[in-house]
Amino acid sequence: MLDGRSFVVPRLFSSSCHSESKCSYMNYRLDVAKGKRPLENDGDDGPQRRKCSKLLGSCQLPESAQNWREQSNEQQRHAAGDSSDSSSLIHHIGRDNSISCLIRCSRSDYGSISSLNRSFRELIRSGELYKLRRKNVVIEHWVYFSCALLEWEAYDPIRRRWINLPRMASNECFMFSDKESLAVGTELLVFGKDMTSHVIFRYSLLTNSWSSGMRMNAPRCLFGSASLGEIAILAGGCDSEGRILNAAELYNSETQTWELLPSMNQPRKMCSGVFMDGNFYVIGGIGGIDSKLLTCGEEYNLKTRTWTEIPNMSPGRGGAGRGNEMPATSEAPPLVAVVNNELYAADYADMEVRKYDKQRNLWFTVGRLPEQAASLNGWGLAFRACGDRLIVIGGPRSSGEGYIELNSWVPSEGPPQWILLARKRSGNFVYNCAVMGC
């Protein structure tokens, strides 16, 4: 809630302007006090708003906002002279200019913006702002993770603040089952098992609430997955009978629909997935008659809808696993992430960061993991891409006490130099982790 504070809207266009001459900056302050909303005032709004209207009217809009204007001309004509709550937004600068301002605001502020009036609330909940953000490459990445069975929280690396999500409402069977998580579009999906079937819980950023009832064509667990914008691909895993699958599915978060894809060349579970160079890759895992570790990967080409096997794509086990003294299922799936179309892996045993050479099809060491990146055979350690950086989430603990750290490194800046973003006390490992970019 704003509670008497003011909200600052940055002038167009702080992140994607092509010409600085068209992108001078100003602040447009929206004052809200005790639920009163000056934006709905039809009287004189003062020189600040008139100045904002004049400046924004002379600023060139980005292509997507121009398209928005063209698509909504008819609506604007009908709305002319109508300053009702349902069509106004910021009255004196128009709906399209209002939206162009809002897509440049931090998503941290959208909750406050939605409290201004019904028009703002409906706009944000419609998801249209996030679609325009993607078109204009205005993306913020938040880290979502769970250190408790039904509790999730998010971390905003830009504002460096924690956000508690609503608690999931579930039964004990789902609570204690193995769970996977995936962020796609404006949704966080958590996959688990009910009494006799697999279930999915969906958190919506637009409504800040959980729902259930989604169902894949081939329900599964222990799969590899990754997202790209509003779509995600899930591959492999186990069905409810424990059979290892080679099936794959594509999920569209905008339509909330599942589509069966061609099957992989071989079944695998406990594998990892990434998007790289516009294609989806599934890496490592366990498969075959003897349920042994797989060293190969597979590439799915979204255009040709075909799978291609890639030998030796898995980063493999570190020093602790080279003697094969551990069963295959005791180790976590490969800890891999892609930044700027480059594939990286965390070797939990040797505490190293490795990079994949796509031309030579081999892995090489680039540096060390953070010293506090503790894990149990890779379990409890999160290794994710977060925009242009890699993040590692983990930390030491003993006797049920400890803490977790969020460390980040920007690969384009040179060898690993980890920066501590945040630290908090936690008696548990990180059970699940996903990064939402929108």
Residue range 216-251, pLDDT digits in tens: 999 999 999 999 999 999 999 999 888 999 999 999
Phi first, then psi: what are they for 326, rounded to 5°?
Answer: -100, 145
Q: What per-residue confidence (pLDDT) applies to 346?
A: 96
Q: Which domains does the chain have, with CATH numbers?
A: 6-135 (no CATH), 162-371 (2.120.10.80)
Q: Cα(247)–Cα(300) distance, rounded to whole angstroms? A: 12
Give the 3-state DSSP-derived string for 308-336, with helices as H, strands as E and coil as C.
EEECCCCCCCCHHHCCCCCCHHHCCCCCE
Q: What per-residue confidence (pLDDT) applies to 258?
A: 97
Q: Cα(350)–Cα(353) distance, rounded to whole angstroms? A: 9
pTM, two decimals, is 0.79
Strand partners, 27: 10
Within 10 angstroms of residue 195's Cβ, the number of other Cβ atoms is 10
Q: Cα(214)–Cα(211) distance, rounded to whole angstroms? A: 9
373 closest CA partner among 333, 337, 404: 404
Strand partners, 276: 279
Task: Indicate the pairing of strand 141-146 with strand 153-156.
Answer: antiparallel
Helices and strands in the chain, H and E counts: 8, 29
Residue matched to tokens 């590899």: 224
Q: What per-residue confidence (pLDDT) applies to 325?
A: 59
Q: What per-residue confidence (pLDDT) applies to 84?
A: 42
Q: Cα(26)–Cα(32) distance, rounded to whole angstroms? A: 19
Strand, coil or helix: what is 96? Answer: helix
Q: Cα(310)–Cα(407) distance, rounded to whole angstroms? A: 31
109 closest CA partner among 167, 165, 156: 156
95 closest CA partner among 112, 71, 111, 115: 71
Phi first, then psi: what are they for 183, rounded to 5°?
Answer: -105, 130
Q: What per-residue confidence (pLDDT) applies to 87?
A: 55
Q: Which amino acid is at 213?
A: G
Q: What per-residue confidence (pLDDT) applies to 398?
A: 61
31 closest CA partner among 2, 51, 72: 2
Judge contact between 37 and 8, C-beta under 8 A.
no
For the record, the structure tokens of 167 come out as 């608690």
> Mind listing the pLDDT tens digit of every residue in the chain (438 residues)?
334 444 344 433 333 333 333 333 333 334 333 333 333 333 344 443 343 334 333 334 444 444 444 444 444 444 333 434 445 687 778 888 888 889 999 998 998 888 888 888 898 899 999 999 999 999 999 999 998 888 999 999 989 999 999 999 877 778 777 889 999 999 999 999 887 788 999 999 999 999 988 889 999 999 999 999 999 999 999 998 889 999 999 999 999 999 999 999 999 999 999 999 999 999 999 997 788 899 999 999 999 999 999 999 999 765 544 545 567 777 899 999 999 999 999 999 999 999 999 999 999 999 999 988 777 888 889 999 999 999 999 876 665 678 889 999 999 999 999 999 999 888 788 889 999 999
Q: What per-residue confidence (pLDDT) applies to 302?
A: 97
